[in-house]
């Protein structure tokens, strides 16, 4: 068992908490604050226990000087302050005198948010490349390090692995919950266990497919990735998205696991991926040359339903259609309806899948929606998670 924030006496200590404040921001307005809300429990706990709270997080990808304006964490400090009902002091730098002075004059229960850790990437990828000196420097600012950013737990960054290597450490409540919920799928999942896999590309999900196929009873394949599988199975997929270099992988998987991998039998097609376009419902041997498959069809939904109805465990990653466009959102909506009508333990992972669940208002009916996309997949694949592996055991 990993040490958690509860295993430390925080009183009077400078506690560095790595949060996941990677939220969509447009013109200074936060478009989805669920990640901020998810961080509150750990921050409140630290304050209640009289810690001096130092927060850090990344936001977006910072590749050029101009990205700084777009990806400043300043709006997060303001909104977080409202949510906490306590001023969050924003320090517009990732290192230096202003930051050090602010920390040295903190009182117990004060909260400071440091600027986007990825601003350090402009200088030789110091954050993302886990620059040793940077991790040491950030660690020198505090007494205890708590990692509560699940979304980056599979990454080796200075702000997670780097700091943790230099301070007594533990995980926060958000990471602890994620682990508990995801372990229901890695530690003897209740059977039948079915996985729904969709999304645009097979290449994003190779690890999941080859790893989870041995653990689950069935994998239902939808989304863009279904078409590489369908082509590998010998169908004409028209102009649907297809990854040629993954055809042999798909063929191999289909040969080996023909009873476990379930492909669509009909799809919704159109000649363009846009609103108000003319759509057709086609059996998969009827797709025309200039058409692409953009959602699963009604018959496929019925087939998938049969695999889902009696399940005890369901994991879903990747929308089964271009759900962002009304015309191609039906499959994803219907499957959300089906899985939330079962008695199964339902876990949804992946940024877009989570967004679909929230957009179509199923978030309260799903057992757990993981806050991490790639991180939840890496966890289920049971590959190493550097920023978690480094955390001290109890
Ligand atoms: P997640 O973020 O949940 O892991 P992905 O990023 O893998 O999901 O995939 C989501 C994207 O896949 C969506 O933007 C969706 O429009 C796209 N998609 C789904 N079905 C298709 C399809 N048939 N053709 C092209 N793109 C698709
Ligand atoms: Mg995505």
The pLDDT tens digits along the chain (394 residues) read: 999 999 999 999 999 999 999 999 999 999 989 899 999 999 999 999 999 999 999 999 999 999 999 999 999 999 999 999 999 999 999 999 999 999 999 999 999 999 999 999 999 999 999 999 999 999 999 999 999 999 999 999 999 999 999 999 999 999 999 999 999 999 999 999 999 999 998 888 888 888 899 999 999 999 999 999 999 999 999 999 999 999 999 999 999 999 999 999 999 999 999 999 999 999 999 999 999 999 999 999 999 999 999 999 999 999 999 999 999 999 999 999 999 999 999 999 988 999 999 999 999 999 999 978 889 989 998 889 999 999 999 9
Q: Is the CB of 199 under 6 A from ligand 1?
A: yes
For the chain, residues classed under CATH 3.40.50.1260 are: 5-176, 188-381
Instruction: For CA atoms 140, 141, 143, 147, give the dihedral sign.
Output: negative
Closest atom of ligand 1 to CA, residue 295:
23
- Phi/psi for 149 (5° steps) reads -110, 95
Q: Active-site residue numbers?
A: 35, 201, 351, 374
Going from the Cα of 186 to the center of ligand 1, the distance in angstroms, rounded, reads 25
Determine if ligand 1 sits within 6 Å of the CB of residue 170: no
Give me the helix-helix angle, 330-341 and 298-308, nearest 10°. Answer: 20
Confirm or reject CATH 3.30.420.40 for domain 5-176, answering yes or no.
no
What distance in Å separates the CA atoms of residue 297 and residue 268, rounded to the nearest whole number? 6
Domain topology for 188-381? Rossmann fold (3.40.50)
* C-beta of 297 in contact with ligand 1 (< 6 A): no
User: Is 204's C-beta closer than 6 angstroms to any atom of ligand 1?
Assistant: yes
Atom of ligand 1 nearest to the CA of 199: 9
Say how many Å lie between the CA of residue 352 and the centre of ligand 1.
7
Inter-residue contact 312 to 190 (CB < 8 Å): yes
Ligand nearest to the CA of 201: 1
């Amino acid at each position: 068992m990993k040490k958690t924030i509860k295993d430390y006496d925080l009183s009077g200590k400078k506690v560095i908490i790595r949060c996941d404040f990677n939220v969509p921001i447009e013109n200074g307005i936060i478009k989805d604050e669920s990640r901020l809300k998810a961080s509150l429990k750990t921050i409140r706990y630290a304050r209640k226990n009289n810690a001096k709270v130092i927060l850090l997080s990344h936001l977006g990808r910072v590749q050029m000087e101009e990205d700084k304006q777009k990806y400043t964490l300043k709006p997060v400090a303001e909104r977080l302050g409202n949510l906490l009902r306590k001023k969050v002091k924003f320090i517009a730098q990732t290192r230096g005198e202003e930051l050090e002075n602010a920390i040295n004059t903190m009182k117990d229960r004060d909260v400071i948010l440091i600027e986007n850790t990825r601003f350090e990437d402009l200088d030789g990828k110091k954050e993302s490349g886990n620059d040793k000196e940077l991790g040491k420097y950030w660690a020198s600012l505090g007494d205890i390090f708590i990692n509560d950013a699940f979304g980056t737990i599979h990454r080796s960054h200075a702000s997670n692995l780097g700091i943790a290597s230099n301070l007594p450490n533990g995980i926060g409540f958000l990471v602890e919950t994620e682990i508990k919920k995801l372990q229901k799928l890695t530690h003897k999942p209740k059977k039948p266990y079915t996985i729904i896999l969709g999304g645009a590309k097979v290449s994003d999900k190779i690890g999941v497919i080859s790893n989870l196929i041995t653990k689950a009873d069935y994998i239902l394949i939808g989304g863009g990735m279904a078409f590489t599988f369908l082509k590998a199975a010998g169908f004409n997929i028209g102009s649907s998205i297809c990854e040629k270099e993954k055809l042999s992988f798909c063929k191999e998987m289909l040969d080996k696991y023909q009873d476990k991998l379930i492909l669509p039998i009909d799809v919704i097609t159109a000649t363009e991926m846009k609103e108000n376009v003319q759509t057709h419902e086609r059996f998969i041997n009827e797709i025309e040359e200039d058409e692409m498959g953009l959602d699963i069809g009604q018959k496929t939904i019925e087939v998938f339903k049969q695999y889902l109805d009696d399940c005890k465990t369901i994991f879903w990653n990747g929308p089964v259609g271009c759900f962002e466009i009304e015309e191609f959102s039906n499959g994803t909506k219907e499957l959300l309806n089906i899985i939330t009508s079962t008695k199964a333990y339902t876990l949804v992972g992946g940024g877009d899948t989570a967004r679909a669940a929230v957009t179509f208002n199923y978030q309260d009916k799903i057992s757990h929606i993981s806050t991490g996309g790639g991180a939840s997949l890496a966890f289920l694949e049971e590959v190493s998670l550097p920023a978690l592996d480094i955390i001290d055991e109890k």
